[in-house]
Amino acid sequence: MRVIDSHTEGEPTRVIVEGGPPLGDGPLADRRARFAEAFDRYRSFAVNEPRGTDALVGALLVPPQDPACAAGVIFFNNVGYLGMCGHGAIGVAVTLAHLGRIGPGTHRLETPVGVVQVELAAGNEVTIENVASFRHRAAVSVEVPGLGRVVGDVAWGGNWFFCVHETPVALAMANVPELTRQAEAVMAALRAQGITGRDGAPIDHIEFYGPPSRPGIDSRNFVLCPGGAYDRSPCGTGTSAKVACLAAAGKLAPGQPWVQESIVGSTFTARYRLAADGAVIPSITGRAFVTGEATLLRHPDDPFGDGMPPAR
Check if 245 is active-site.
Answer: no
Domain spans of the chain, in order of start: 2-131+291-295, 134-274
Enumerate residues 6+ apart whose C-beta is below 8 A from 144.
Answer: 150, 182, 185, 186, 189
Check residue 311 and give its pLDDT: 75
Q: Which of 69, 163, 225, 235 is catalytic?
A: 235
Contacts of 170 (CB under 8 A, 6+ apart): 210
Quote the crossing angle between the two packed helices 40-47 and 28-38, to the nearest 10°: 80
- Which residues of the chain fall below pLDDT 70? 312
**Topology alike, domains 2-131+291-295 and 134-274:** yes
pLDDT (tens digit, 9 = 90+) per residue, 213-269? Answer: 999 999 999 999 998 999 999 999 999 999 999 999 999 999 999 999 999 999 999
Q: How far apart are CA 125 and CA 195, in angstroms?
A: 37
Is residue 3 within 8 A of residue 296, CB to CB? The reply is yes
User: What architecture is domain 2-131+291-295?
Assistant: Roll (3.10)
Q: What phi and psi values does residue 86 have, to the nearest 5 degrees? A: -65, -50
pLDDT of residue 312: 63
Rounded CA-CA distance 152/160 in Å is 13
Q: Over the stretch 157-187, which tens digit does the pLDDT of each residue have?
A: 999 999 999 899 999 999 999 999 999 999 9
pLDDT at 195: 98
Angle among Cα 237, 241, 246 to the nearest 5 degrees reads 145
What's the CATH number of domain 134-274, 3.20.20.70, 3.40.50.300, 3.10.310.10, 3.10.310.30?
Answer: 3.10.310.10
Burial of 306 (0-12, 13-18, 19+ CB in 10 A): middle
Task: Please answer whether residues 130 and 281 qualify as being in contact, where contact means their C-beta atoms are separated by less than 8 angstroms.
Answer: yes
- Catalytic-labelled residue, pool 69, 85, 163, 245: 85
Report the pLDDT value the prediction gives residue 265, as an integer from 0 to 100: 97
**Residue 88 to residue 158: CA distance in whole angstroms:** 12
pTM of the shown model: 0.95
Is 225 one of the annotated active-site residues of the chain?
no
Neighbours of 38 (CB within 10 A): 12
Give the model's pLDDT for residue 169. Answer: 95
